[in-house]
Amino acid sequence: MYSEQKQQLIDYGNKLIDLGYTLGTGGNLSLYLREKDLMLITPSGIPFSEITPQDIVLMRCTGEIIEGIKKPSSEWRMHGIMYEQRQDLHAVIHAHTLYSTAFAVARKPFSASHYMIAVAGKNVRCADYASFGTEELAQNAFKAMQNRKAVLLANHGVLTGGTTLFDAFNVLEELEYCAKVHILATHIGSPSIINDGEMANMAVRFKTYGQKRNDI
């Protein structure tokens, strides 16, 4: 079932590794089949290069396993709450990207020093700390990600969402670039922050930017 979607999860998982956006078995990806109220999610503790379509877990957001013999990602609650509470999200990616995670370790929100942060929102908040894989972390992430497509997880990593895996990955990649630029800029001086009015303008312009994609 859903062989194409399962392969997409594997391909994007390997892309995280290839581009250095996570290490080892860190990170997880999911897709939401809203018409079926089902979630496809990567398994727990298996390197992305070793994951097969049969290892992808089909489950409900409440935790019920529908198909699969492997344990789902320990962060399935964090994915599930996004799909239950957000009508605009159909794909979620969690990774341990270097520069975004630096902000998460400092527990600092990420302000708009570069206009491309608009892919996620006018800024990116940092969720309160909670242990990985817990309901508390899921709740904290959901709260801090309201009206955004990304959230920093304190002392942990980053979570992004979108209508497709392409969209969620693009948010992750742009956020990581902006984080790197911001950190480098602090060695030159104090980064200038774009005001909310201009970021609102960016949000409007981004709605019609680029080409329409149908891959979900």
Catalytic residues: 75
- Looking at residue 110, what DSSP letter applies? B
For the chain, what is the total number of helices (H) and then of strands (E)? 6, 8
- Burial of residue 178 (number of CB atoms within 10 Å: 0-12, 13-18, 19+): buried
The span from the CA of 119 to the CA of 177, in Å, is 12
Angle ∠(82,50,149) on CA atoms, nearest 5 = 20
For 40, left (φ over 0), alpha (ψ -120 to 50), or beta?
A: beta
